Amino acid sequence: MKILVCVKQVPDMESKFAVNSAGTWIDSSDLAWRMNEYDEYAVEQAVRLKEQVGEADITILSIGPDRVVETIKKALAMGGDRGIHVKDELSHDKDPFQIAAIIAGLAREQNFDVLFFGMQSQDRGSAQVGVLVGDMLKMAVVTTVVEFAFEDGRITVKRELEGGKRAKVRLGLPAAVTCQLGLNTPRYPTLPNIMKAKKKELTVVEVATLEPAEALVRTRALYPPSKKGGGLVLEGDTAELADKLVGILKEKTTVLK
């Protein structure tokens, strides 16, 4: 069985964010970076599938600048067998369709049986890449997976729906799966596995050598939310508070008109 796991390196959400000089994305110079949390569940599920079937090979793929190699190595230390780094200094400027086209182009001739993705990234949150890749490769796709099982050559999952409901879906191979938080408990790489990951195969592909896809969406401007005034605390007895509240509401209604 051949398995592909696509992972993304994202800023640590505890970082202090600022807009870059171009005004189109965040300034990356002083940020801490980590593997996208949703992708950790994807890596873990791929490793569990390999442990179940025995004969399997896991490829880890990530797109981005040189620093994403650390994220690939973490996934390899968790149990991946080989890595592919698509070197792209401007990956943050690409929309989901362009990213999916890169992944699909690399995966098309590899005949992967299962593709794992995080449901969405923590920075853009589009939740589109896994679906688009599956569509481009003409394979079955199931999203927001919270339970996963493989038996008799078929995948059975439960996917999360709105309102806390779940739907059971069964699909054959090849298939693409996007993983929701809570699907499993991602393992921590052990020191021996971290050392082994340094020796695992890592192929570097320059994005310029790949056939580009035209952007469908472009970011014209990025800016932080506008600051709003603080809340107003009213004090006094109930009758006074009611009169004050009505007066404030009338005043704001007049301003809005």
Q: Is residue 97 part of a domain?
A: yes
**Residues 6 or more apart from 141 whose CB is under 8 A from it?**
130, 131, 134, 135, 175, 176, 177, 178
HSE (side-chain half, CA atoms, 13 Å) at 125: 2
Q: What is the mean pLDDT of residues 75-82?
A: 97
Q: Is residue 247 part of a domain?
A: no
Distance of CA 13 to the CA centre of its chain: 13
Closest CA to 68 of 45, 99, 44: 99
Q: Is the pLDDT of residue 254 over 80?
A: no
Q: Is the pLDDT of residue 86 over 80?
A: yes
The answer to whether the beta carbons of residues 73 and 206 sit under 8 Å apart is no
Q: Is residue 228 part of a domain?
A: no
Q: Is residue 222 part of a domain?
A: no
**Percent of the chain's residues with pLDDT above 70:** 98
The answer to whether the beta carbons of residues 57 and 81 sit under 8 Å apart is yes
Q: Is the pLDDT of residue 256 over 70?
A: no
Q: Is residue 27 part of a domain?
A: yes
Q: Is residue 72 part of a domain?
A: yes
Residue 33: the pLDDT is 92
pTM of the model: 0.85
Q: Is residue 243 part of a domain?
A: no
Position 187, amino acid: R
Number of domains in the chain: 1
CA–CA separation, 228 and 99 (whole Å): 36
**Percent of the chain's residues with pLDDT above 90:** 67
Low-confidence winner among 4-18, 192-206, 233-247 (lowest mean pLDDT):
233-247
Q: Is residue 227 part of a domain?
A: no
Tokens of 62: 């990530």
Look up the domain containing 167 and give its range.
2-209
CATH of the domain at 174: 3.40.50.620
Residue 205: the pLDDT is 95
Q: Is the pLDDT of residue 166 over 90?
A: yes
Per-residue pLDDT reduced to its tens digit, 190-210: 999 999 999 999 999 999 999
